[in-house]
């Protein structure tokens, strides 16, 4: 399609910007900044919407910078590297405001101007990820998917990854044993262990590992000193073996006076930006405002990221999680912290909440940290289970707004929204919402 000229109106959810063509058709464009005038080529169109990418910047934003990554134009990962970091933060706040205003709920529209605070910036704009996952395409190319493609761009480093991960990746690519393993691999994870600065590899294979594959892994362990473990997993078979990664959480007064060590198994979940995770934990603790008489319910509790520091102050804490390895880690972390007031249950969260609501159970404070899809259909149960306040941690602002609108109709009052930049150089936004029960619902 021919190149067209556009004035960029605003940033919207998904890492793109909104504009209109000369006929008034809604257009979403990549690689631009609000306020710019650009030429763009359209690559997708239907009756109501078209999508494109800038080909020339006619009037540039003062916040436009040269992307630091040599793969930026091809790689489908980072989509905000063409902005200054301050503009990235502003764009994320604007995206949240836009979603709140367009949700249709009057309270959320009001929150866009009164309750939404500026995002908490990351101390590290690059090299913050302690975990990366690389893909292997049908051509045996190891890297990240290209934009709008299932083909990979070959990479030897990622500016978002810890430098130790990049060093390990470059060493791997020089090993014949690694090349042979790639022929049976569809994805590769590199995990940095903050406790000892060493690396764990997880090969996602197309078939169960053969003796030759295990021998190749042994060779890698011998040749690369920074490797701690090499595991294989795939459809129909689990990670062979187990290792534990961990980090120490500094004191979070008044909750903890000493460091708490949190660990998780390979294959389990931990936030990739550990510096920002500390700020996230502190925000959740402040919003919970737990006292020694409070009971706490932590849903999607994982390995106890919030549970363990919350339980230091609470009377009791129940953690619910559907993943077995996460529950094992949570129990271990609580035990290592010397806690006797915690219980952790492996059960799908929706099922657990339905059962507890049916039994008439209630908790002073409920914390919920769901996956990207949020918690559709759970608002009524959350309203029954929450005694005083609900803290909702979200990694997707669109599903957060949807769920908040439901909760506000069921006796909750929205007090504050705190975005947090867990993923610099990308459009992704973490957000913590504090809701309290209305007085008549206590």
In eight-state DSSP terms, residue 208 is P
Integer-rounded Cα radius of gyration of the chain: 23
- Inform me whether the pLDDT recorded for 301 exceeds 70: yes
pTM of the model: 0.93
Question: What's the rounded Cα separation, in Å, for the pair 396 and 419?
Answer: 11
Q: Predicted confidence band at 25 (pLDDT cuts at 50, 70, 90)?
A: very high
Cα–Cα distance, 321 to 110 (Å, whole number): 34
Residues 330-372 pLDDT 10s: 999 999 999 999 999 999 999 999 999 999 999 999 999 999 9
CATH number at 131-241: 2.40.50.1070
Q: Where in the chain is the domain with CATH 2.40.50.140?
A: 3-102
Classify 291 as helix, strand or coil.
coil
Encoded tokens for 437 = 């029960």
Could you tell me the pLDDT band of residue 251, with boundaries at 50, 70 and 90? low
Select from 413, 416, 434, 428 the least CA-distant residue to 118: 416
Tokens of 433: 């919402």
Q: How many residues does the chain have?
A: 442
Q: Are 81 and 73 in contact (CB under 8 A)?
A: no
Residues of the chain with CATH 3.40.50.150: 273-441
pLDDT greater than 70 at residue 299: yes
Indicate the CATH number of 3-102 among 2.170.120.40, 3.30.450.40, 2.40.50.140, 3.40.50.720: 2.40.50.140
User: Which helix or strand (DSSP H or E) is residue 281 part of?
Assistant: helix 274-288
- Tokens at 325, concatenated: 């390895």
Q: What is the pLDDT of residue 268?
A: 75
- Cα–Cα dist 177/253, whole Å: 49
357 vs 378: CA distance, rounded Å: 11
pLDDT for the residue 177: 96
pLDDT digits (tens, 9 = 90+) for 383-403: 999 999 999 999 999 999 999
| pLDDT (tens digit per residue) in 97-133 | 999 999 888 889 988 889 999 999 999 999 999 999 9
- In this prediction, residues 283-307 reach a mean pLDDT of 96
Whether residue 442 has pLDDT greater than 60: no
What does pLDDT average to over the chain?
Answer: 92
CB of 169 closer than 8 Å to CB of 190: yes
Q: Concatenate the DSSP letters of all residues of 166-182 into one string.
A: HHHHHHHTT-HHHHHHH
| Burial tier of 113 (Cβ tally within 10 Å: 0-12, 13-18, 19+) | exposed
Instruction: Tell me the per-residue pLDDT of 135-183, one tens digit each, with 9 for 90 and over.
Output: 999 888 999 999 888 899 999 999 999 999 999 999 999 999 999 999 9
Structure tokens, 267: 């294959």
In the DSSP assignment, the letter for residue 294 is -
Q: What is the pLDDT of residue 13?
A: 94
- pLDDT confidence of residue 1: 62
d(CA 338, CA 311): 10
Residue 207 clears pLDDT 60, i.e. is over it: yes
What is the mean predicted confidence (pLDDT) over 18-41?
A: 95
Verify cis geometry, omega within 30 degrees of 0, for the bond prior to 254: yes
DSSP readout, 355-409?
HHHHTT--EEEEEE---TT--TT-HHHHHHHEEEEEEEEES-HHHHHHHHHHHHT
Q: CATH second-level architecture of 273-441?
A: 3-Layer(aba) Sandwich (3.40)
The pair of structure tokens assigned to 167 is 């060093």
Question: Of residues 69, 233, 395, 431, which has the active-site annotation?
Answer: 395
Closest CA to 368 of 340, 331, 406: 406
395 catalytic per annotation: yes
Considering the chain, tell me which residue range(s) the CATH 2.40.50.1070 domain(s) occupy: 131-241
Looking at the chain, the whole-number percentage of residues with pLDDT higher than 90 is 82
Cα separation, 21 vs 27, whole angstroms: 7
Torsion of CA 17, 19, 25, 30, to 10 degrees: -40
% of the chain beyond a pLDDT of 70:
94
Q: Average of pLDDT values for 89-101?
A: 96
Q: Which residue has the tokens 């806690």?
A: 339
């Amino acid at each position: 399609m021919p190149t067209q000229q556009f004035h960029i109106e605003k940033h919207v959810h998904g890492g793109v910007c909104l504009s209109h063509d000369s006929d008034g058709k809604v257009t979403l464009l990549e690689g631009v900044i609000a306020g710019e005038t650009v030429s763009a080529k359209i690559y997708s169109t239907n009756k109501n919407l078209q999508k494109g990418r800038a080909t020339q910047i006619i009037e540039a934003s003062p916040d436009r910078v040269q992307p630091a990554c040599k793969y930026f134009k091809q790689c489908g990962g980072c989509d905000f590297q063409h902005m200054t970091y301050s503009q990235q933060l502003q764009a994320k706040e604007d995206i949240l405001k836009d979603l709140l205003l367009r949700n249709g709920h009057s309270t959320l529209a009001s929150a866009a101007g009164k309750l939404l605070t500026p995002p908490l910036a990351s101390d590290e704009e690059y090299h913050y990820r302690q975990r990366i996952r690389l893909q292997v395409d049908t051509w045996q190319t190891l890297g990240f998917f290209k934009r709008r493609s299932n083909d990979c761009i070959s990479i030897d480093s990622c500016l978002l990854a810890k430098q130790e991960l990049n060093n390990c990746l470059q060493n791997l690519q020089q090993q014949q044993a690694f090349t042979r393993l790639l022929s049976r691999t569809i994805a590769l994870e590199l995990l940095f262990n903050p406790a000892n600065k060493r690396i764990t590899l997880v090969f996602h294979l197309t078939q169960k590992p053969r003796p030759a594959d295990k021998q190749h892994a042994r060779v890698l362990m011998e040749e690369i000193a920074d490797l701690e473990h090499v595991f294989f997993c795939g459809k129909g078979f689990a990670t062979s073996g187990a290792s534990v990664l961990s980090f120490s959480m500094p004191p979070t007064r008044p909750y903890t006076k000493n460091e708490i060590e949190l660990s998780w198994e390979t294959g389990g979940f931990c936030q990739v930006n550990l510096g920002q995770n500390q700020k996230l934990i502190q925000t959740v603790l402040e919003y919970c405002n737990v006292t020694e008489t409070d009971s706490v319910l932590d849903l999607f509790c994982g390995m106890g990221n919030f549970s363990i520091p919350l339980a230091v102050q609470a009377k009791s804490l129940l953690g619910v999680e559907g993943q077995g390895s996460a529950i094992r880690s949570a129990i271990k972390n609580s035990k290592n912290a010397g806690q006797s007031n915690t219980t952790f249950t492996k059960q799908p969260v929706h099922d657990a909440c339905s059962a507890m609501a049916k039994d008439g159970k209630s908790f002073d404070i409920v914390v919920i940290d769901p996956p990207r899809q949020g918690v559709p259909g759970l608002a009524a149960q959350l309203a029954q289970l929450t005694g005083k306040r609900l803290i909702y941690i979200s990694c997707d602002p669109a599903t957060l707004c949807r769920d908040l609108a439901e909760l506000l109709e069921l006796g909750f009052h929205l007090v504050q929204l705190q975005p947090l930049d867990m993923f610099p150089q990308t459009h992704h936004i973490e957000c913590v919402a504090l809701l309290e029960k209305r007085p008549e619902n206590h």
